[in-house]
Amino acid sequence: MTIIEIPVIYGDGIGPEITSAVLSVLDAAQSNSSLKLVWIPVAAGLSALAEGDELIPQRTLDEIARCRVALKGPCATPVGEGFTSINVKLRKTFNLYAAVRPVRSIPGVETRYKNVDLIIIRENTEGLYSGVENEVTPGVVMSMKVASEVACRRIAKWAFRFANRRGRQKLTVFHKANIMKLTDGLFLKTASEVHVNDYPNIDFESNIIDAGCMKIVQDPTKFDVLLLENLYGDVMSDLCAGLVGGLGVVPGANFGDDLSIFEAVHGSAPDIAGRNIANPLALLMSAVMMLNFLAEKLQLPALSQRATSIKMAYDKCLIDGQKTRDLGGQMTTSEFADAVIANL
């Protein structure tokens, strides 16, 4: 029996309910198999604080470092001073510099556009998420936007390599280099250099972020791979989610050189937490990304077969109109998970 251990952060808000739903599907998909994924629950977020622990306990960091992979529900960070965002801390601790968010039209989910197929690649460690903020003088505060040549080039290379491997045709970088000449200027310059020097076979385009958002909303099918610095990537992810049915259907992964954390794009959605109505699909899709990633990394084709069977099962649910409320359906979180399991 091959066993793969995977730390799981259940998270806050809707986190525990969607994570339980997703694990029930993953477990159902692995019954009678000699290849077993074993979940290691680890704490983070408000739930960790409530148990008198740190926001991200050391054991959580140790387990993720040991297993080199994790599945993560959304976590909430208390607002106010003294707490670094959990997501930012995890990304920085493990140097998870590349966030990848595939945004695709979903069968059975009616939206304005039919053939959306975008991949958002977000630089995850710098920009305005540097955490450097200070009070210049009473009443005047400042946030520092950081860009380093190393990180800009690293994410540009990662994005082009990813686009190339996946056979994607075009990469568009978004920036505001007309205003932030140094920071966004560096991001744009390094991306163009990587294109010219290493990947001239891929079409390369640059868009000023504001005009680029308008163009994406007008016709997302004209875009392919999108490369953005940290904050623009955050905003663009939610904008693009709106093109395909909302935050309930956009998965994500954070990659470093040899460690990855898979999580949905959405947050902990406190407005609907604890009511069993959240859509677990974005986290389930993130788990499918994780299975495919592990299949490739560990050379275990059985895992990609498992990923495909889960994808076919949830696609069938959606086509049959079995959906949660955010997609216009009536199902609860657990009913949707049960319907996916029934289709496996």
Which tokens hold the place of 119?
């991949």
Contact flag: residue 88 with ligand ATP (CB under 6 A): no
Would you say 282 or 340 has its CB closer to ligand ATP?
282
Site string for ligand ATP, 13-42 (x = CB under 6 A): -x----------------------------
Which residue, among 116, 139, 59, 109, has the nearest Cα to 329 in the 3D structure?
109
Q: Near ligand ATP by CB under 6 A, which window of 32-40, 123-131, 140-148, 276-284?
A: 276-284
Confirm if 151 and 123 have CB atoms less than 8 A apart. Answer: yes
Q: Which amino acid does the sequence have at 24?
A: S
User: Which three-class secondary structure state does DSSP give residue 57?
Assistant: coil
Contact flag: residue 272 with ligand ATP (CB under 6 A): yes
Confirm if 308 and 291 have CB atoms less than 8 A apart. Answer: no
Contact flag: residue 268 with ligand ATP (CB under 6 A): yes
Q: Facing residues of 141 across strands?
A: 135
Contact flag: residue 288 with ligand ATP (CB under 6 A): no
Contact flag: residue 282 with ligand ATP (CB under 6 A): yes
Would you say 18 or 156 has its CB closer to ligand ATP?
18
Contact flag: residue 51 with ligand ATP (CB under 6 A): no
In the bound complex, which residue of the shown chain has the CB atom lying closest to ligand ATP? 267
Of positions 12, 17, 263, 326, contacts ligand ATP by CB under 6 A: 326
- Could you tell me which residues come within 8 angstroms of residue 203 by beta carbon, excluding any fewer than 6 positions away? 169, 170, 171
Which tokens hold the place of 113?
């556009």
Which tokens hold the place of 45?
């977020």
Which residue, among 123, 122, 118, 124, has the nearest Cα to 216 in the 3D structure?
118
# binding residues, ligand ATP (CB under 6 A): 13
CB of residue 243 to ligand ATP, shortest distance in Å: 15
| Footprint (CB under 6 A) of ligand ATP, residues 220-259 | 247-248
Q: How far is Cα 245 from Cα 106, in angstroms, rounded to an integer?
A: 8
Distance of CA 302 to the CA centre of its chain: 24
Q: Facing residues of 77 across strands?
A: none
Contact flag: residue 267 with ligand ATP (CB under 6 A): yes
Q: How far is Cα 226 from Cα 219, in angstroms, rounded to an integer?
A: 14
Q: Near ligand ATP by CB under 6 A, which window of 44-52, 89-97, 268-276, 299-307?
A: 268-276
Q: Near ligand ATP by CB under 6 A, which window of 54-62, 153-161, 225-233, 260-268?
A: 260-268
For binding to ligand ATP (CB under 6 A), which residues are involved? 14, 247-248, 266-269, 271-272, 278-279, 282, 326
